[in-house]
Amino acid sequence: MDANLELIASNKSFGGWHKRYRHRSTANGCDMVFAIYLPPAAETGPVPVLYWLSGLTCTDENFMQKAGAQRVAAELGIAIVAPDTSPRGEDVPDDPEGAYDFGLGAGFYVNATQAPYNRHYHMYDYVTKELPALVEAHFPVTDRRAISGHSMGGHGALICAFRNPGRYVSVSAFSPICAPMDCPWGQKALGRYLGDNREAWAQWDASRLIGEAGERLPLLVDQGSEDGFLEEQLLTHRLVDAAKAADHPATIRMQAGYDHSYYFIASFIEDHLRHHGAALLD
């Protein structure tokens, strides 16, 4: 194992192993933590990987502890990698007012261009390039990748897939921020990370990118009808309309009675894992 990888936790789960590592990130200029679940099949040969991107205020731990994904991942023989949601450390700038929706825990999976955030906030490069290269070099995994996420992480999963034809074999999302250019969370983050030029913002907006996607991976999205963020922040209807206009294959399901929580994610995570398994194991 690379001396740059420090094992900080290890737990047996459904015959496989959930492990957490710390390493020095070149993209973000700080130490980063990520989790990996290796199914039992990884003991006899390399397995494909689902990358999970978490939402605002989360870390790698939320999904791994609350979603209940390990049982089906173990059955299918799929590894899961969950990075943190932003750079962290004493030198990493946070929201000046200490708000939860920007800065630490809220990297938005973009490459910041505006000071002081451009020194550390390169989560897009981290999750699409640096982390997969590290994982594929040091763990028993293949280069067949899928990507999914929740809320801010759902936004991240969509833009990573739409911007990188050929890098992933499948994509899905729970409650994604579908049109960050037009919601308060996204306008704050894109404005501070990228500046005032809205043309630059469009490169990080799934509802804009879906029409330009160079690859039409079938898309699965689940959204809860009782999600308190639906109308103001998530704007799911924008993605529905954009997918129809682009004739992009998309299954976007409104799940009656569900909210924004991990109770919702745990209820439908098996559907998403099997969606990805069909592509990863093809």
Q: Concatenated DSSP letters for the chain? A: --TT-EEEEEEEETTEEEEEEEEEETTTTEEEEEEEEE-GGGGTS-EEEEEEE--TT--HHHHHHHS--HHHHHHHT-EEEEE-SS--STTS---TT--TTSBTTB-TT-B--STTGGGT-BHHHIIIIIHHHHHHHHSSEEEEEEEEEBTHHHHHHHHHHHH-TTT-SEEEEES----GGGSHHHHHHHHHHH-S-HHHHGGG-HHHHTTT-SS---EEEEEETT-TTIIIII-HHHHHHHHHHHT--EEEEEETT--SSHHHHHHHHHHHHHHHHHHHT-
Catalytic residues: 151, 227, 260
Which amino acid would we find at residue 247? D
6-280 classified as CATH 3.40.50.1820: yes
* φ, ψ dihedrals at 58, nearest 5°: -85, 170
How many residues in the chain?
A: 282
CB distance 280 to 50 below 8 Å: yes
pLDDT at 136 over 90: yes
CB distance 47 to 114 below 8 Å: no
pLDDT tens-digit series, residues 96-118: 999 999 999 999 999 999 999 99
Facing residues of 104 across strands? none
pLDDT tens-digit series, residues 157-194: 999 999 999 999 999 999 999 999 999 999 999 999 99
**Residues 142-158: what's their mean pLDDT?**
98
Number of neighbouring beta carbons within 10 Å of residue 170 = 24
Q: Quick one: which of 93, 110, 94, 115 has its CA closest to 27?
A: 110
Specify the pLDDT at position 222: 98
| Predicted structure pTM score | 0.97
Scan for tokens 């990493």, then name that residue. 92
Which amino acid would we find at residue 70? Q
Domain parsing of the chain, residue ranges: 6-280
Specify the pLDDT at position 131: 98
Specify the pLDDT at position 73: 98
Average pLDDT, the chain: 97
pLDDT at 282 over 80: yes
User: What is the separation of C-alpha 31 from the centre of its chain, rounded to a whole number of angstroms?
Assistant: 19
**Residues 130-151: what's their mean pLDDT?**
98
